[in-house]
Structures are given as structure tokens and as C-alpha cells.
């Protein structure tokens, strides 16, 4: 069982919709914990208090059948290793699968982040994975305003993303680094000639592949 930890209804809705599009979706359960973030905040402290808040919230939703926890709220991604160590359960960053995907597209990554406090967190992970692979990577900001503050207005949210990507230039791909952006990926793709990578889609593809491998192992094939 995959346990998704969401901090906003739009992320939960986007994930459920994406799962429904899969022929064999990975077994999943969702927890919506709105108090994890203030969507209108322009800063976020990755401190002990934030970790304790996350740890306590996750603990409430553990049923004992979890094979993996996915943090859909990117500002908490930096806590994934510590949470994994303390719970003894694999913890997936929301941006990890997508980062590995975009690094296969080129060097200049158009990074779209709708919640400003998340930008540095995703950029840091992009650089760390690139260094691990011995590759060069440069994050190019695509979206500069706090679009997440009006994420409950889908038309406006999607249009802001599309407009921002239309203005992006000299990038090898565009990375929609937050799960809430996934429903607008087709609209965004119409605005550019380069590949558009959705963090949510990349994450679900990884989970689906992992599920297939688990089934194959169980059947000894």
C-alpha cells in the first residue's frame, strides 16, 4: 500500500485523477493534512518544529500495511530521509522521480514551482542528483509568483502556468515540479516545443513499475 500525504485538496484531487487514468494503478491510500502548510506563505522554515508536525501527522494515518509513503507537499521533501529512518518505511519525495526524468532531457531545466518556498528545495535536489550522476544541470525559473495561493481557482491557476511556460526560452524541458500542476500539463505542453515532465506522472510511473516488480517477485518470475 502506498500512502500519499497531501497538504492541499488540489494535490489530492490531481493524484486521484492521475491514478484513475492508469490501467493498473498502484494500490494507494490518501491522507489530507491541510495544516501542514499555509498556501499564501512566501517562506517556509524547514526546522525541527516542521518535522515534528509532519511526523505526528503521518503517524496518525499509519495502518501498518504501508510499503511506501509519498510526500506530495514538496516543502517537506527534505525530511524524507529522516522520516524513512524513524519509521522504517521507504519515503518518496514528490520531486525525485521527475528530477531523474528531466536530467535525461538536457542541461537547462525550466523549473515550474507554484509555491515559492518549494523552489530552493527542488532546485537543491536537482543539483544533488545531477552531481551524483556526474552531469551538469541548471534550473531556470519558469514561474515566479505564488500561484498556489489561488490553486482553488483551476482556470486561473492553469492559465498562469501556461502563460509562464509560453514565456520560457532556451530550456531543454519544463519540469512541473508540484503534484497540483499535473491536470494542466496538456495545456502547458501546447505552449512549448520542449518536453513537459510532470512530477506526479513520473512518480506514479515509478510506483507502477515497482508494483510490477513486486508481483513478478511474488510469482517467482
Task: Verify that 70 and 103 share a domain, yes or no.
Answer: no
Same domain, 69 and 104: no
Residue 217 forms part of a structural domain: no
Mean pLDDT in order along the chain per 10 residues (221 residues) = 95 96 92 90 89 96 96 95 97 97 96 93 97 95 86 89 91 96 95 96 92 49 44
Instruction: State the pLDDT at residue 72.
Output: 96
CATH number of the domain to which 189 belongs? 3.40.50.1860
pLDDT of residue 216: 40
pLDDT at 212: 62
Task: Please state the domain count of the chain.
Answer: 2
Cα atoms in the 13 Å half-sphere on the side-chain side of 203: 31
- Same domain for 6 and 83? yes
Residue 219: the pLDDT is 42
Q: What is the pLDDT of residues 167-177, one digit of tens each?
A: 888 999 999 99
Average pLDDT score, the chain: 92
Identify whether 221 is part of a domain.
Answer: no
User: To which H or E segment does residue 137 belong?
Assistant: none
119 shares a domain with 89: no
Q: What is the pLDDT of residue 7?
A: 94
Sheet holding 28-32, edge to edge: 28-32, 2-6, 68-71, 91-93
- pLDDT digits 0-9 by tens, 136-176: 999 999 987 888 888 889 899 999 999 999 988 899 999 99
Helix (H, G, I), strand (E, B) or coil at 108: strand
Residue 219 falls inside a structural domain = no
**Three-class secondary structure of residue 118 per DSSP:** helix
Residues 123 and 162 in one domain: yes
Range of the domain at 124: 96-201
The verdict on residue 208 lying in a domain is no
Q: How far lies 181's CA from each of 66, 177, 207, in Å?
A: 26, 8, 19
Question: Do 103 and 178 share a structural domain?
Answer: yes
CA distance 87 to 73: 18
My answer on whether 80 and 21 are in the same domain is: yes
From 93, 109, 125, the end of a domain falls on: 93
Amino acid at each position: 500500500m502506498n500512502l500519499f500525504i497531501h497538504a492541499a485538496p488540489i494535490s489530492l484531487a490531481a493524484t486521484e485523477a492521475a491514478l484513475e487514468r492508469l490501467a493498473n494503478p498502484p494500490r494507494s491510500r490518501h491522507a489530507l493534512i491541510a495544516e501542514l502548510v499555509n498556501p499564501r506563505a512566501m517562506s517556509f522554515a524547514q526546522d525541527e518544529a516542521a518535522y515534528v508536525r509532519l511526523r505526528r501527522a503521518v503517524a496518525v494515518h499509519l495502518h501498518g500495511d504501508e510499503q511506501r509513503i509519498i510526500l506530495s507537499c514538496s516543502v517537506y521533501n527534505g525530511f524524507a530521509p529522516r522520516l524513512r529512518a524513524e519509521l522504517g518505511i521507504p519515503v518518496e519525495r514528490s520531486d525525485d522521480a521527475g528530477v531523474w526524468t528531466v536530467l535525461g532531457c538536457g542541461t537547462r531545466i525550466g523549473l515550474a514551482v507554484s509555491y515559492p518556498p518549494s523552489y530552493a528545495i527542488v532546485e537543491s535536489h536537482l543539483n544533488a542528483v545531477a552531481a551524483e550522476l556526474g552531469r551538469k544541470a541548471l534550473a531556470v525559473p519558469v514561474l515566479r509568483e505564488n500561484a498556489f495561493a489561488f490553486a482553488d481557482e483551476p482556470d486561473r491557476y492553469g492559465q498562469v502556468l501556461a502563460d509562464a511556460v509560453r514565456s520560457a526560452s532556451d530550456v531543454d524541458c519544463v519540469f512541473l515540479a508540484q503534484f497540483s500542476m499535473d491536470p494542466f500539463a496538456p495545456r502547458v505542453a501546447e505552449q512549448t516545443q520542449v518536453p513537459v515532465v510532470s512530477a506526479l506522472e513520473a512518480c506514479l510511473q515509478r510506483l507502477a513499475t515497482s508494483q510490477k516488480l513486486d508481483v513478478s517477485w511474488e510469482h517467482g518470475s
